Amino acid sequence: MSAGAGASGGRKIPPQVPPKSRDRPVSVADATEELSAVQLQGDAQGLSTPCDVKLSHITCDSFKIQWSMDPKDHVTHFFIDLNKKANVNSAKKAFKHKDVPTKLVAKAIPLPFTVKGHWFLQPRTNYTVSVQTACKLPDGEYKVSDWSETVEFCTADYSSVQLNQLLDKARNIMSDRKLPLTHFYRNQHQDYFDFMRMNHGGVLQPSIKDDGGSHGSPINGNLKGISFSANVEWNERDGPRIPIDSPYGRERFLCPAAAMFNENANLYFADLYCMYTAYHFVNLVLTTKGSEGDQFCSGKLPLLDPSNNEFLTRKKRDDGSMEFAVCQDLIVELFYTEPMKMKEGQMVSIEGHVVPSLSTENAKKDASCKMCNINK
């Protein structure tokens, strides 16, 4: 539909695609067929402007829409103009890719109806939407209404449905290979640890999770925690060991796994992503049962069995002590939702390199990767 199609009056409108079923949501597949001719009982003498546009059931990739219009209008088609709201902090104001139409069309069906499409709706993103009605006349001409008022809305985070799909994706990457693990670790610069000693009595403080990874992950920008790594690499001389390099700083806080991942802890799956690389990251959340962080996660994230999952496990030995193991196929990031006393662990300086370019802080996920995107 041309940009000038909002003016009232007779006008040819390029063929666009309606859903084939009254119950099916407007979707991408509907953009490949022509509209069928609609024979009307009488003429449409001007169409009223749609008003009172309302949205409901907003998810990460769909919403329901309805509006008011004159019941006397012989409406045959609806047009939905959907746009990502411009980011005032971005120099790039335009939303639409040249090959991504955002004017959607449907035959007139009962309201409300569902608009759905992961290719033009992204999680946790601000959009604007307006509607227009049209009447196809027997001679093939159209009469159209003026565009309605514009309504703003924001799509939701991933729901449990999408997160379980992402979890299945992670499991498809996995093998049964695990390495023993004794410590979780957190690297930072010396200034960070000095600040925690001077201002918080040597207790590491939780902070809001950054926007790294999947844009739709519910913990991003919402959950407070401390980022730890749980990675172990195989060294021919030393066997399993913690990596000697880090993107985050030369100073490393080593915390015994048993101090965090004990029987009073819950383990949740939060994310799977990559940064245009061959390897993938999995983000797990570790909470204390019944805590504020645990209550947040329990309604949003898949809960993992601590003794039987593909990523990070805890099992009790015959002598009552705990043994831990971590997967080799993914880089495991751990988000711990409680304060952590530095006296629970020890400080060391790494021998390897500090490579800031490998940091995952606010890292953008590769949206084209078929291994870690749920709609690929």
Closest CA to 134 of 36, 41, 8, 27: 8
Class of domain 9-154: mainly beta
For the residues of 159-216, what is the DSSP string, one character each?
-HHHHHHHHHHHHHH--S-EEEE-EEEEEE-HHHHHHHHHHHTTEEPPEE--S-B-TT
pLDDT 10s digits, 35-44:
333 333 334 3
pTM: 0.79
Domain boundaries, the chain: 9-154, 160-358
Any bridge partners for residue 52, and if so which? none
Q: What is the pLDDT along the chain (376 residues), one digit of tens a residue?
A: 333 334 344 444 444 444 444 445 544 334 323 333 333 333 435 799 999 999 999 999 999 999 999 988 889 999 999 998 865 454 443 334 333 446 788 888 899 999 988 677 889 999 999 999 999 888 888 899 999 999 999 999 999 999 999 999 999 998 888 999 999 999 999 999 999 999 999 999 999 999 999 989 999 999 999 999 999 988 777 778 888 888 899 999 999 999 999 999 999 999 999 988 888 999 999 999 999 999 999 989 999 999 999 999 999 998 888 999 999 889 999 999 999 999 999 999 988 877 777 788 878 888 889 999 987 6
Cα gap 152→113, rounded to integer Å: 18
Cα gap 323→315, rounded to integer Å: 5
Determine which helix (DSSP H) or strand (DSSP E) holds 260, and give its type and residue range: helix 257-260
The β-bridge relationship of strands 340-341 and 265-273 is unpaired
Cα gap 333→307, rounded to integer Å: 18
